[in-house]
Amino acid sequence: MKAVHFGAGNIGRGFIGAVLQDAGFFVTFADVNQPLIDLMLAAGEYRLTVLTEQQTTRRYSNFTALHSVNQFDALVQAISVADLVTASVGANLLPKLAGAIAAGIKARGSREPLLVMACENAINATDILESAIAEQGELDYEKVIFANTAVDRIVPMQPEGSAPNVFVEEFCEWVIDSSRMSDSLISIPGAVFVKELAPFIERKLFTVNTAHLTIAYLGQLAGYQTIAQSLCDSNVFEMTRAVLDETSRVLIERHHFDPEQHEAYVLKTLARLGNPVIDDQVIRVGRQPLRKLSRNERLIGPAAYSAELGHEPKAILKVVLAALLFRDDSDSEVLELTEIIATHNVSDCVVKICGVDTSHPLYPNLLEVFSMHKSALNRA
């Protein structure tokens, strides 16, 4: 079996690529980072270390790697004979993959349909990729099947000079929407296939990602460097727990999760995020605040649902305020967020940054948050 995976970074090597190799796939990694590609090819393998108190290491060598721009023809050829194409490049970059995938689909001939999945921290990311591929020309759906996914594994900032080796947490979850595929299409041991994916996507995004981001923003305000350090602070922990109580209420009301089972999932999440062996920097988790404050993301998404259900998401709103205070001089989105706030009135900020219309029940709450932030800036 053959797979092409876009993104040879830490998630690609440490999660999706590893699961695929464990399942027996030969993986072609496609990336634009030539130095990383050279390291992978020169070593012929990489080591994956699981960060627990008693660390374990596995070697992976059933792969090759190529430059997705400079070796475009080779990439198209690899896609044309692959069983599976996956991607972990960031949801905003998915459209850039469309040309190569579209060309590979056209070159497939009479092979079995190609399964394409975007493995991103975004709701229905594969739909984004499918739309971009369709824009390349008429799409033959007899040759391709698209499936959305929900993925979950913490891959922290890596030690300098460690590539191509990668360090990851023990837990991983890959849930795949099988509603558009036959049961016999493909098997990936280590992945879970479900007919209805939305509940799993929201459960992960509104629990793991929301908690992760909450800890990062509150932790930076409290002066901490890592997620584990931050979660040891009782104030950060209590606020994170309050946020998760609000998101849990939304998830249980929307998707009818069993309350006891969901509480176990919440406790497991807190234990994962508090793992002292993982050096997960608050800067890494908090970066790209503009994207993470957008309408369907990990803060505004559950807050909007909460308001629609008649609740006031007080804890989440406090984290939104903390997000506006996040600082990282190397993050262009921090600078852009600061510029928007400085040059727009409060109402426009709410609509432009959070994507919440003035008629939405969450709008008055967000207006108050942004007003407080603007007032504090004016007093400074």
Same domain, 189 and 333: no
Same domain, 276 and 349: yes
Closest by CA to 93, choosing from 139, 132, 37, 148, is: 132
Same domain, 102 and 250: no
Same domain, 14 and 78: yes
Q: How many domains does the chain have?
A: 2
Residues of the chain with pLDDT below 50 are: none
Q: What is the pLDDT of residue 259?
A: 97
Same domain, 147 and 205: no
Same domain, 231 and 179: no
Task: Collect all residues with Cβ–Cβ distance below 8 Å to 305 and sequence separation of at least 6.
Answer: 250, 254
Same domain, 170 and 278: no
Q: What is the pLDDT of residue 138?
A: 86
Q: What is the pLDDT of residue 109?
A: 86
Q: Which residue has the tokens 């080591």?
A: 47
Q: What is the pLDDT of residue 377?
A: 80
Per this entry, what is the length of the chain?
Answer: 380
Same domain, 91 and 214: no
| Owning domain of residue 37 | 2-194
Domain boundary among 170, 194, 218: 194
Tell me the CATH number at 351: 1.10.1040.10
Same domain, 16 and 108: yes
Domain boundary among 162, 194, 226: 194
Instruction: Give 262-319 pLDDT, tens digit per residue.
Output: 999 999 999 999 999 998 999 999 999 999 999 999 999 999 999 999 999 999 999 9
State both tokens at 326: 């996040």
Q: What is the pLDDT of residue 184?
A: 64
Q: How far apart are CA 87 and CA 28, in angstroms?
A: 11
Beta strands across the sheet bearing 149-152: 149-152, 173-177, 192-194
Neighbouring C-alpha atoms within 13 Å toward the C-beta of 3:
30
Instruction: Give 146-162 pLDDT, tens digit per residue.
Output: 999 999 999 988 988 99
What does 244-300 look like in DSSP terms, one character per residue? HHHHHHHHHHHH---HHHHHHHHHHHHHHHT-TT---BHHHHH--HHHHTSTTSTTH
Q: What is the pLDDT of residue 380?
A: 62
